[in-house]
Chains A and B, each alone.
Chain A
Amino acid sequence: MALSREQLAQRVAKELKDGYYVNLGIGIPTLVANYIPEGMEVMLQSENGLLGMGEFPTEDTIDPDLINAGKQTVTAVKGASFFSSAESFAMIRGGHVDLTVLGAFEVDVNGSIASWMIPGKLIKGMGGAMDLVAGAENIIVTMMHADKYGNSKLLPVCELPLTGYGCIKRVVTDLAFIEIKDGAFHLLERAPGVSVEEIISKTAGKLVVPEHVPEMTF
């Protein structure tokens, strides 16, 4: 069975390490915060100027001056700090964030990513995504493997305008955990109950499949 959004987030959370500073994008990446292993210390960075993002506030602690990059009201954890947008992107561009998790419309075998614009349909802007993919060494893209018509989103070459060129090395989809290297997708793990054949059929870009593909564990 394909992973639910929660399971996808759970699988990504397994890549967290104690002491990490992490930036989580909007959507599925945000859910990763719910699966930080007990006892592990992780600081969440929000690019609007907060390091140490906490959970949502209660009705009486809500503060309009304290929001996350999705413009949601949040709280700050003990040890948090606030700073300007320039400082925030110095952290990001300078490679100080240990792990970045973000969504995408498409990725390709060269590690390029498209996530910010669908010509003629959707023009919302790139926000901080271009800076995040350019600045981070360690990026995980979370996305659906194919669209609702079954068309692959893992392509030989991205068709939509790029967010970043050649910068993505790991992708977790609802079907598989994939590494991108040497101009190909490499199948590392499959979602429980999902066949290798299904993954092959829904991957348009070159896919390298090892003899044994383990099922994901959470």
Chain B
Amino acid sequence: MIEVKDLSFKFKKKPVLENINIRFGEGEFILIAGNNGAGKSTFLRCLTGVLSPLSGSVYFKDGLSKRRIGYIPDGLGFFENLTLKTAINFHTRVFRTGGFDDSLLKELDLDPDSKVKTLSVGERTLFLFSLILAQKPRLLLLDEILHAVDAYLRDIFLDRLLDMIAQYNTTVIAVNHTFTEIEKIPERVLVMENGGFIIDEKTDTLREKVKKIELGPDEPVPDDLPVLFKKETPYIREYYVYPFEEKMRTGFDLEFRDLNLADILKSFIGGYYVKKRV
């Protein structure tokens, strides 16, 4: 549905995105992780068209109209001085959407006559999401929005998000630092580093490929073990192995443990900092 070709972007002569080629299919839920400054937000902005790439292109196939693309940015400085009611009118006119469903506002007990700036960060996120829902989105881009939303609102948001996906078969691309709540949802995971994707895997495949071993204080680390990231304290010696292969279980006399997605992504991001120091 979306095809990104040779996409590059520079900010003040510094390359932010370098020659990205990637495709996203209809109804996919993709999680993008990576260290701060890897280029994740810039990539999303290039997809929305907010930023024009230096070179390369983003194709939307099957007649995907910009009106059906929703984007929730990291900083939410929108419609500050408007009342909710005015903002709704404005948004539905610009995106030429049909009726606005106010059930979410009612659930959150938000007054349509209050100003957007009086809402909490979490409420604003959900308010913007309710505007986007009126667009019947076929593509939704989420830029690290869950961390600022409290647990109660996060729950409401996730319910509505899953409803939306079921209803419109929306493709969702989510940039995230907090994974636990949504970690069962994405079927595909990307890891970004230095403006490019270093990992593009089905979630289930990635889970098979990253394992953890724990060593005792005097046990040596086997030389030929591919260690992605390690954690060493006087009490803990943990090594994250990637790419893990099943035959290693017999090759090494070690216990290879499964990891949750949050730990897997943490080890890739940690691996970046290790490489940077070397």
Q: Do A and B come from one complex?
A: no
